[in-house]
Amino acid sequence: MLLVLDTNVLYMALYSSKGASYKILQLIRKGELQLALSIPTFSEYQDVLLRQASLDTLNLEHLDVEALLDGLARLAFPFDIHYLMRPNLRDEADNMFVDLAFASSCDCIVTSNIRDFTNDNELKFDGFRILTPTQFIKEWEESND
């Protein structure tokens, strides 16, 4: 299964090893899930996770986060974005995740901020679903037991 991960999922995976976000990251590391990645999404991951405030909150060093990101880059499936969908989401930065979802034909975008991807339920995407980490893990566990 191919996923696009919002930055907040990686952030939460680094914040706590007890939640659904961490489980998703572990499934990617084990090769049981596939991560779609583009240059803009990787740059977003770097920008957010390597901020000093993030490093302080996550209690991590710069090199720790760089090692994680390098590992994800090696495991991920790269996609070039040749067109921009521009669904005009609430947060302009989230448009890149939709662009990647279309380019990769992924199964779903996993995000903690579903409302940011729906514009009050006006936006509908036929090719992929948008799930929270908890929803995703629940479905994953039900279909893989």
Encode pLDDT of 56-94 as tens digits.
999 999 999 999 999 999 999 999 987 766 656 766 778
Q: What is the mean pLDDT of the chain?
A: 89
CATH fold for the domain made of 2-143:
Rossmann fold (3.40.50)
For the chain, 145 residues long, give each residue's pLDDT as a single digit of tens.
999 999 999 999 999 999 999 999 999 999 999 999 999 999 999 999 999 999 999 999 999 999 999 999 999 999 998 776 665 676 677 888 888 998 999 999 999 987 777 665 455 666 788 899 999 999 999 998 7
Domain boundaries in the chain?
Answer: 2-143
Sign of CA dihedral 58, 137, 32, 109: negative
pTM metric for this prediction: 0.90
